[in-house]
Structure 1
Amino acid sequence: MQSSGFVPSLISGACAGFAVDVSLFPLDTIKTRLQSRQGFRKSGGFSGIYKGIGPVVLGSAPGAAMFFVAYDTSKRCLMSSKFMSQHETVSYMISACVAEVVACTVRVPVEVIKQRSQTMANKSSLTILRNTLKHEKFKGLFRGYKSTVLREIPFSLIQFPLWEYAKHSLSKRKGRAVSPWEGAWCGFFSGGFAAAVTTPLDVAKTTIMLAEKRDHAAAGRIFPVLKDIYHRRGAKGLFAGVVPRVMWISIGGFIFLGTYDLVSSCYR
């Protein structure tokens, strides 16, 4: 089946985002509670690990769809240039940056409500949304936008060039296009490596999103937050939740990028 680039990116991205976010939600909850200032047990421990899934179900598909539409469109535009076609890695990195900035306009409000739901056992997602709008107005939904972008851009700068490079190398070695299954394994390893390296940025992002309005972390300045975390908890605090994060994103990379390649293959 042949189609324009927009439609495959939109549908494949939506399917990929929904599949990974819903299937791996419990690991994300555990990771968030490990990073919470309240501590794992006070944040809920292992109870209610699907709490906050409502916003994710509503937001995962459009967020991922926006990411891949922006990523694939940017990549096609850049690769049409003779200079950029000779520097593929740079094209992948720029495309990933553009895609993250665009996707975070959907991802951040979802993440704010989701993470607060995961750590506030006595409040529903709808109550948290109402309270956020009441006390922080609309901008409260974008608390941590800059810190999220600052986390996601380094992550994507690592993951997507590695994923593309791994697929290209595998394709060259086998003398054929890689299968969605093989692309999924490339996503597994590239995602896990990127997740480990960028964990401190994820801890800072979580701290900012969960901070009370009067807390200095609520200002959203990522480097002072990182400094404060290190001062209070040391290097161990900067890598809080690294194991579930790496597990979650490695498996997530497998499902996310594998699903994307699988659905995309239907349009080739």
Structure 2
Amino acid sequence: MRKNRLLTILFAFMLLVLAACGNSDTKDTSAAKEKKEAPKPEPTEMILATTTSTQDSGLLDVILPIFEKENNVKVKTIAVGTGQALEMGTKGEADALLTHAPASEKAVVDAGDAINYKRVMYNDFVLVGPTENPAGVSGSDIKAAFQKISESKAVFVSRGDDSGTHKKELGIWTAANLKPEGEWYVSTGQGMGQTLQVAAEKKGYVLTDRATWLAQQKNMPDLKIVVEGGNDLMNIYHVMQVNPEKHNMVNGKDAEKFVEFMVKPETQKVIEEFGKKEYGQSLFVSYTE
């Protein structure tokens, strides 16, 4: 009798243990399921106004997905000329700016429309022209090259869009005491990629950033670099955020994150490596302060 009672107690105890384990497993499973099914926060949105060269070169396709994933941000890119990008900043129509016209950028910063202004990278400008090179330009003296093109009335294709490249081109004409005008001087009002296409079609000369040229040259076998390497052909890019205190509708929080992302060592390494495998050289060189 005593033995049967003991067996009954042991059996009841085992049932309690099994029930407790079952409840624990159920709780653990439910907790894991609840954790797994927890909705991911919707990404915030940030507007980046930038020059067409960062898009045409393919750089943005590499770095923006990294930033978006790290910060749960969806970036809307507006690739225009630097002048237009900076104007968007002065109107509070963008959150962050990535451009390459230092003098114009400084004016925007000095006016208080942009803050957190940092140097990011550089490459250089090159003069590209038809393989037959009708103006006979060469070497590294870009002002002398413009002089020869003007004298020979060889076709010159300008972006004409107030971009950083266009500003640089106009500065060279001014430094050479020249005023380009006439049928030989063609203004496209378009981005760098499209302007290169026009130059290829018209067999004309064109000033371009090296990154866009390297990315596009395979489509333009009748064009080649004819002038490069001059000290006055450096092309410096800066990043900045639009001032949220002056423009209260901008996304200052994510814009600040983007500026810091662009200058951190990991991103700088990505920039430095971009293009090496495909083109045998970096399309941009890291250049932080």
TM range (shorter): under 0.3
Largest Rg, 1 or 2: 2
Q: Which has the higher helix share?
A: 1
| TM value normalised by structure 1 | 0.23
| TM value normalised by structure 2 | 0.22
Q: Which has the higher strand share?
A: 2
